[in-house]
Amino acid sequence: MPANDNALNQGDELTAAAHAAASWVRARRAQWTSAPAAMAAAPAVAPPAFDRPVFDLPVFDPVAPTAHLPAATAAAPPAAARPTLWRTWTLGAAMRRWLLRGAIAAAVVTAGAVAGPRVWQALPAVPSLPVRSARVEVKPAAVIAKKPVGALRIGSTPPGARVLVDGKPRGLTPLDLADVSPGRHEVALQSAAGVVTRTVTVAANTTVTIDEAIFSGFVTVYAPFDVTISDGGRVLRADDHQQIMLAPGTHELRITNRTLGFEAVRTLTVKPGEATNLQLSPDPSALTVTASEAAEVWLDGTRLGDTPLNAAPVALGVHELLVKKATGGERRFTVTVGVKPFTVAVDF
């Protein structure tokens, strides 16, 4: 059978069900009665507080007769029965109205329950759309590789020295550092007794130990002439062994000789308990000797040449100068050769 015929038949069945429900309601309504006589026989009772109707119904006046009441009830009832009659009529009208509404609702629900599945089956099928599942690729979280590091264990005598690694303060001795990058590092220990500096090589996953005693060292200065040595403006004095005691660490020594006009600066590192030698080798000066007659020039017993002698290299200091004529006769001098060129003129 075509689908349209099925739909028509189902509609006819629904209409027939609705007519049957309405007929049933009319039959039930024909059996209702609103006669007040039976209600009047009941004893008169004062109406309770909720006697007035709570439904949205027209107000019924028992004194004024209405056109829709039966003729038997149009006459005014006795005074004692008026409240009871009014309440009975009002409640009866409300009940009839709600019973009618309930019967219609039950008929509609029954018709929907009977015809609903058939109407649903008669509807054309709607093709379902294909569901596409999105494929999400989950990548594992990147693992952050930790850089390999080494460690330093640093001690000092006396303890409490300030530790610097590559110029950065890290704490006081004794000190353990577990985050030192592999490679070469400069470790400095600073205290009131001095500064000790060490260069160490740290490997990954290894510990390097540094334990230094911080106390004075010694410096010995060798110079061809007398010199004055100062450190940071402080003049240093040598002991009987010509040694100067200095705190460990790096020092910048200034070495001077005012007579010779000599001045030099030397930087050296003093190690605890160790002696450090400093050898001075100043550049030579220039000696020029002239004479009124031809002569030989001798310096500290060594022949330098004949006059005129021009800018002969001579070490700085005090020297013995001898000038001898070829025909006999000589002249002796004690000369101090400084940084500036030195000139001697001999007149026989």
- Separation between Cα atoms, residue 262 and residue 318, nearest integer Å: 13
Question: Which pLDDT band holds residue 342 (cuts at 50, 70, 90)?
Answer: very high
Contact 322, 298 (CB under 8 A): yes
**Does 265 lie in the same domain as 179?**
no
Task: For residue range 159-168, list pLDDT tens digits in order.
Answer: 999 999 999 9
Confidence at residue 81, expressed as pLDDT on a 0 to 100 scale: 44
User: Does 275 reside within a domain?
Assistant: yes
Q: Convert the pLDDT of each residue in 167-204 to its tens digit.
A: 999 999 999 999 999 999 999 999 888 888 899 999 99
Helices (DSSP H) in the chain: which residue ranges? 3-30, 37-40, 82-122
**Whether 230 and 315 share a structural domain:** no
DSSP 328: S
Residue 108 domain-assigned (yes or no)? yes
Q: Is 126 helix (H, G, I), strand (E, B) or coil?
A: coil
Question: In this structure, what CATH number is given to the domain that contains residue 177?
Answer: 2.60.40.1120
Using DSSP, state whether 100 is helix, strand or coil: helix
The total number of structural domains that make up the chain: 4
The overall pTM is greater than 0.85: no
Tokens of 3: 């689908």
* Residue range(s) defining the domain that contains residue 25: 3-115
The residue out of 279, 294, 311 marking a domain boundary is 279
Q: Which of 213, 230, 259 is the last residue of a domain?
A: 213
**Do the domain assignments include residue 91?**
yes
Which token pair is 303? 């022949």
Task: Tell me how far apart the alpha carbons of residues 187 and 171 are, in angstroms, rounded to a whole number.
Answer: 12
Is 255 inside a domain boundary?
A: yes
* Residue 136 falls inside a structural domain: no
Q: Which of 37-41, 253-257, 267-271 has the lowest mean pLDDT?
A: 37-41
Residue 36 has pLDDT above 60, yes or no: no
d(C-alpha 165, C-alpha 230), whole Å: 29
- Residues 200/185, Cβ–Cβ less than 8 Å: yes
Rg over alpha carbons for the chain, rounded to the nearest Å, is: 66
Query: Using CA atoms, how far apart are residues 53 and 65, in angstroms rounded to an integer?
Result: 19
